[in-house]
Amino acid sequence: MRKLGFETRAVHSGREDLTDLGVHAPPIDLSTTYPVGSLGGIGECFDALAQGGPLRDNPIYARLHNPTVVRFEKALAALEGAEEAVAFGSGMAALTAVLLAARQGGKHVVACRPVYGGTDHLLDSGLLGLEVTWTHPHHVSKALRPDTALVVLETPANPTLALIDIARVVAQAGDIPVLVDSTFATPVLQNPLAHGAAMVLHSATKFLGGHGDVMGGVVATSAAWAARLRQVRIATGGVLHPEAGYMLHRGLATLPVRVREAQRGAQFLAERLASHPAVSRTWYPGLASGDPEGLVGRQMRGPGCLLSFELAGGTKAAARVMERLELLTPAVSLGSVDTLIQHPASLTHRVVDATDREASGISEGMLRVSVGLENPEDLWADLQNALEALQREEIAARVEKPLFGLTNPGLGRS
Ligand SMILES: Cc1ncc(COP(=O)(O)O)c(C=O)c1O
């Protein structure tokens, strides 16, 4: 049989046994425990799971194994071209498990900024006993130490949409595993394992669920790494709830359609923002300025659904624009059917030291937009309205400002 196309895998993966079960929708198994019957052989079942191995006969306890979650894991692995995938209760729980699993190989991590603020904080805080060297993606080899256990990167990066050449970093890392957070790309637009990464991580809370109503995280990787991640998950308890597993699995079926349609809107908005006089800079991989190394087409199958833009007036201007919007929702998170806008310096990247933030290109005037499935013309009308109101306010403020100490009598001041 020919290799199934991506869209077909998105619809059918993890559902192979449904016909035999005589059902159309995957069953949700909410059991926290499973009757063990006789004790003969149950110890071996337990040991196999506790060592991160596959299910023998009995799941025993929901922290060790859940069949509904496994369906989502199998489907996601099929979309990433991975041997296996391991799901967690959130993207941060997934990252924590990767860091703890890698920690066994050394305490040093090399990472490239920017990354999601929570990731930056977890790496930089020392909470997990790690030492991190932040470096430019072209200088990864110089940052490696004998105790380096992992290289961490995010592409496209949150929130600057900077793209990193994964294969180039992998070549520099040599034997050291590279973890790619590919949340912004989704498996529709990028498969980091095909470029040599050892692990690919998604905050499933975003596009995989796709409707802003489920939290989760997942790592797609080799069978050996997956076993280590399951061991950590069993020990630390960062499991995905089966109802969330069901919803994430369902989300995968429409993922290609949602991502491609939202991407169309993002390209449209990025082009308009880039030529609007109130906007000092626009970041989007679908603009020539956003892809200096030509990675769209080579590494990514499209520029994606997120963009950022900058207002010269800093936080104050960003706040005024956010307040004026009627259709775009001012909120963190991304990848939902509706369009969300947020101010990274105040919210998602607030935990990052201001100097590091600025150095990685996250300015006070930056707003990040996650484009949803609305009519792009409606989104642009809302944005344009807010930007023009800002321009009018700025002009009025300039007129009101006293010139060389003189006041403007026409404005009723004495
Ligand atoms: C790129 C990226 N990675 C990881 C995370 C963390 O995921 P979660 O919020 O599901 O823990 C986020 C959250 O915004 C993110 O944007």
> What pLDDT, on a 0 to 100 scale, did the predictor assign at position 67?
97
> Residue 76, Cα to own-chain centre: how many angstroms?
15
**163: in domain:** no
pLDDT band (50, 70, 90) for residue 261: very high
Task: Reply yes or no on whether the pLDDT at 79 is more than 80.
Answer: yes
CA of 243 to the centre of ligand 1 (A): 20
Task: Reply yes or no on whether the pLDDT at 412 is more than 50.
Answer: no
Q: Which residue from 205, 213, 219, 239 has its CB within 8 A of the most atoms of ligand 1, so it is best to mutate?
A: 205
Ligand 1: residues with CB < 6 A are 90-92, 116, 118-119, 154, 158, 181, 183, 203, 205, 215, 217
CA of 331 to the centre of ligand 1 (A): 14
Task: Reply yes or no on whether the pLDDT at 147 is more than 80.
Answer: yes
Q: Residues of the chain with pLDDT > 70: what percent? A: 97
Atom of ligand 1 nearest to the CA of 184: 1
Measured on CA atoms in the order 399, 404, 405, 406, is the torsion positive or negative?
Answer: negative
Atom of ligand 1 nearest to the CA of 115: 1
Q: Residues of the chain with pLDDT > 90: what percent? A: 93
> Going by CA atoms, what residue is nearest to atom 15 of ligand 1?
116
pLDDT band (50, 70, 90) for residue 372: very high
Task: Reply yes or no on whether the pLDDT at 40 is more than 90.
Answer: no
pLDDT band (50, 70, 90) for residue 280: very high
Task: Reply yes or no on whether the pLDDT at 325 is more than 70.
Answer: yes
- Catalytically active residues are 63, 116, 181, 206
> What pLDDT, on a 0 to 100 scale, did the predictor assign at position 388?
97
> What pLDDT, on a 0 to 100 scale, did the predictor assign at position 117?
97
Could you report the per-residue pLDDT of 225-240, keeping only the tens digit for each? 999 999 999 999 999 9
Instruction: For residue 46, give the H/E element and its range.
Output: helix 42-50
**52: in domain:** no
**93: in domain:** no
Could you report the per-residue pLDDT of 97-132, keeping only the tens digit for each? 999 999 999 999 999 999 999 999 999 999 999 999
CA of 179 to the centre of ligand 1 (A): 14
> What pLDDT, on a 0 to 100 scale, did the predictor assign at position 407?
53
Mean of the per-residue pLDDT values for the chain? 95
> What pLDDT, on a 0 to 100 scale, did the predictor assign at position 408?
53
> What phi and psi, each to the nearest 5 degrees, are found at residue 360?
-95, 10
Atom of ligand 1 nearest to the CA of 216: 10
Mean pLDDT to the nearest integer, 343-367: 96
pLDDT band (50, 70, 90) for residue 410: very low
Atom of ligand 1 nearest to the CA of 204: 10
Instruction: For residue 111, give the H/E element and its range.
Output: strand 108-111
CA of 127 to the centre of ligand 1 (A): 18
**CA–CA gap between residue 27 and residue 23 (Å, rounded):** 8
Q: CATH number of the domain that 292 lies in?
A: 3.90.1150.10
> Going by CA atoms, what residue is nearest to atom 10 of ligand 1?
91
Query: Alpha helices, DSSP H only, in 51-176?
Result: 67-80, 91-103, 117-124, 140-143, 166-173
pLDDT band (50, 70, 90) for residue 404: low
**CA–CA gap between residue 104 and residue 228 (Å, rounded):** 10
**CA–CA gap between residue 234 and residue 51 (Å, rounded):** 9
CA of 203 to the centre of ligand 1 (A): 5
**178: in domain:** no
**268: in domain:** yes
Distances, alpha carbon 379 to alpha carbons 82, 285, 393, in Å: 37, 19, 21
Residue 307: give the domain boundaries. Answer: 256-400
> Going by CA atoms, what residue is nearest to atom 14 of ligand 1?
333
Residue among 390, 378, 367, 368 nearest 326 (CA): 378
Number of domains comprising the chain: 1
**100: in domain:** no
**70: in domain:** no
> What pLDDT, on a 0 to 100 scale, did the predictor assign at position 43?
92
Mean pLDDT to the nearest integer, 285-306: 98
CA of 173 to the centre of ligand 1 (A): 24
Mean pLDDT to the nearest integer, 190-217: 98
Atom of ligand 1 nearest to the CA of 95: 4
